[in-house]
Structure 1
Amino acid sequence: MAELSYSTNWNSMSDQALNTTIGAFVKQHRLNQNKSQEDVAEAANISRSTLSLLERGKTVNLTTFLRALRVLDLLYIMDTFQTRTQISPIKLAKLESEKRQRAGHKKDINDTKSDW
């Protein structure tokens, strides 16, 4: 079955709606892995009621969320938050122009003329 693709306007969502979306994400993945709330909570070192709050879209702290993601092997979503150093096109062009274009002649140590 093909997945439906749609775009969500995250900026227009309320904090509560975002929390609910995050909770549904965690719950769906937990159920897909056939894990009980008790199993995930114990492995994440949080209470079952705290996990239940997270899944219902209630406010929990970030550490609770990260612990649940770790137990469910979902930390790959953190890739979105990686920052990369960007280089300006002008700087890139300058660095490219400074690269060596040719190899030089190798000097043979034994081929040097001696003053003796």
Structure 2
Amino acid sequence: MTDLSYINSLSDKAIFKEIGNFVQQRRIKMKMTQNELAERAAISRSTLSLIERGGNIALKNLIKILRTLDALYVFGMFKVEDDLSPLQLAKGERIKRKRVRTRSDNDKQKDPGW
């Protein structure tokens, strides 16, 4: 399924279960036991079992598991693409925002509101 909009309606617990199911099915497809995967990923078998049951584990351990399963491609959705306006693109500008600043009360008073 390429449309992941259904994920917005899931609870955190249901998302953990989806992740656990993905890990388990990928492991089985690669014909690995839990012990083999845990050893290759340098984690405990109980940690692997926990994620496969939909439990909460450290992100570091999830990355180890996905790397071992050759499934780091799932993090491709986290890649941030620059949104350039046509004018910025034409000028070759690539200004990346680093923070968002809220206006303080003093700044609001200085603004003439034009």
Deviations along 1:61-108, one digit per CA (max 9) or x if unpaired, are 11111110011000111111111222111222445xxxxxxxxxxxxx
Instruction: Give the alignment partner of residue 13 of structure 1, picking from 6, 10, 13.
Output: 10
Spell out the pairing of 1:1-116 with structure 2 (5 A cutoff): 8-95=5-92
Distance 1:6 1:76, change over 3 A: closer
What's the TM-score, normalizing by structure 2? 0.73
Return the letter of the residue paired with 1:46: I
Cα root mean square deviation, aligned: 1.7
Structure (1 or 2) with the larger CA radius of gyration: 1
- Identity rate, percent: 42
Distance 1:84 1:5, change over 3 A: closer
| Aligned mates of 2:6, 2:13 — CA distance in 1 | 14
| Aligned mates of 1:5, 1:81 — CA distance in 2 | 16
Figure out how many residues of one structure are paired with residues of the other and give that number. 92
Runs of at least 4 residues off by over 6 Å: none
Gaps of 5+ in 2: 93-114
Distance 1:76 1:7, change over 3 A: closer
